[in-house]
Structure 1
Amino acid sequence: MPEIKERPILFSAPMVRAILEGRKTVTRRAVKGSGLVWLDNFLAEYVADPENNLCPYGNPGDRLWVRETFIDLRGTGVEHRPDPDGPLQRYAYAADCRPGSHSDEARKDFGLKYKPSIHMPRAACRILLEITDVRVERLQDITEEQSKAEGVRLYTDHAELGDWWHVEGIETYSADPRKSFELLWSSVGGAWQANPWVWVVEFKRVTP
């Protein structure tokens, strides 16, 4: 049986929450480097369904372990057991501790600081994803259904967020799912108007 390949992938706290809530089952990432060269050749030669391993996130069946903003609690004296009979919780995650919340204020009281997701070790990972499909398409080809699968919040959802709507980035919300995704893409520095080629990576959660 072939060994399952694993690769790390970064997600922001709002997107981590969307994954945990089951709202996000796909991610789009700009095609770069050799992937763009391959696309140029593919389009020039009109090759149908070329096989390649250029997607840096893997292929169907491969797995992605999520890197997210976190705190290493080991040695801090604030490790705890969510389940009395379970193991100590050695890590805390920004996605679970919204800015201004009681837990966030407690974190500050203990002098605990978040570490960027890029520095998260595999041992701290709590979310494992299995790739179910990979394809390439233009960014603006995204459908309304796919926009929702990206985990976007609609402007009409802000009531569900209660007091958190103002820290969730309401400026990235719209009543239209595609517009919400456009605003989300632009909010992280993406160039929507450039309509770049993107890797579309669909996934499902599996047990870490």
Structure 2
Amino acid sequence: MKERPILFSTPMVRAILEGRKTQTRRVLNCDHPVVTGFIPNGTHYWQGTAISKAVEQQYISTFPRVVKCPFGAVGDRLYVRETWSTHACFDDILPRNIPVRSIHYWADGEVKTGKKRSSIHMPQWASRILLEITNIRVERLNDISEADAVAEGMIADDDYCAEEYFSMLWNEINGWKEKGWNANPWVWCITFKVIEGGAT
């Protein structure tokens, strides 16, 4: 079992803390036009499948036969990196020298002290949420169901269903072009449970 980092936006951290978010989708870096699916091929690996054997042979030099999941395998753990800050007196101090009690997490509400620190710069020791992967699958982004959109932390209302809110959030985070909703990229669909922090 290994622990790896995973970044979440502030609204998604809130959804995890409230027990509303148990899934996340991340772009799988494979957009080869002949790929029609991925099947498990070992613990961390997924094998690409092509439209046909003939097409696979035609693209043999570029066909993505095997892709490694960067988030690990079922049973592995992910420590959440989120936007944070510290008391202003620690603004110019290296993270390793900052006391844990001085950390402020932006998902907890407005922060009035210290400079804003990007989630990507959060060290593991400062993470307060630990997740365990319970399932991984590979699918097209647009294949998300309404139930999965709810598991992504979306809340339906009279204006939009959860899937529509998810598509808007996806474009906000990933842009509207190459990896946007309409591009329908392949994604890692990771289901998790909270081990530490949030709603366990």
Fold equivalence (TM over 0.5):
yes
Give the aligned partner of residue 207 of structure 1. Answer: 196
Give the aligned partner of residue 93 of structure 2. Answer: none
Number of residues paired by the alignment?
A: 164
SS of the counterpart of 2:136? Answer: strand
Instruction: Answer yes or no: is 1:59 the counterpart of 2:73.
Output: yes
Distance 1:64 1:88, change over 3 A: closer
Superposition deviation, residue 90 in structure 1: 2.8
Give the aligned partner of residue 43 of structure 1. Answer: 50
Conserved 8 A contact 1:62-1:130: yes
Conserved 8 A contact 2:83-2:105: yes
Give the aligned partner of residue 94 of structure 1. Answer: 106
Conserved 8 A contact 1:14-1:95: yes
Between Structure 1 and Structure 2, the one with more helix by share is 1
Conserved 8 A contact 2:80-2:127: yes
Superposition deviation, residue 203 in structure 1: 0.2
Give the aligned partner of residue 61 of structure 2. Answer: none
Instruction: Answer yes or no: is 1:191 the counterpart of 2:180.
Output: yes
Give the aligned partner of residue 140 of structure 1. Answer: 142
Give the distance between the partners of 1:152 and 1:128, measured in 2 at CA.
21
SS of the counterpart of 2:50? Answer: helix
Give the distance between the partners of 2:31 and 2:160, measured in 1 at CA.
37
Between Structure 1 and Structure 2, the one with more strand by share is 2
1:153 partner letter: I
Conserved 8 A contact 1:74-1:91: no
SS of the counterpart of 1:17? Answer: helix
Give the distance between the partners of 2:185 and 2:31, measured in 1 at CA.
15
How much is the aligned-residue C-alpha RMSD, in angstroms?
Answer: 2.9
Superposition deviation, residue 72 in structure 1: 3.0
Structure 1 unpaired stretches of 5+: 47-51, 77-86, 99-103, 157-173
Give the aligned partner of residue 25 of structure 1. Answer: 22
SS of the counterpart of 1:58? Answer: coil
Distance 1:147 1:94, change over 3 A: same
Structure 2 unpaired stretches of 5+: 39-46, 54-65, 91-98
Give the aligned partner of residue 7 of structure 2. Answer: 10
Identity %: 47
Indicate which of 46, 68, 88 corresponds to 2:82.
Answer: 68
1:16 partner letter: V
TM-score (norm 1): 0.69
Conserved 8 A contact 1:70-1:94: yes
TM-score (norm 2): 0.72
| 1:74-113 matched pairs, under 5 angstroms | 76=90, 89-98=101-110, 104=111, 107=112, 110=113, 112-113=114-115
2:2 partner letter: K
Distance 1:72 1:34, change over 3 A: farther
Distance 1:187 1:125, change over 3 A: same
| 1:105-184 matched pairs, under 5 angstroms | 107=112, 110=113, 112-155=114-157, 174-184=159-169
Deviation readout 1:62-104 (Å, 9 max, x if unpaired): 000000011134955xxxxxxxxxx972311110124xxxxx3
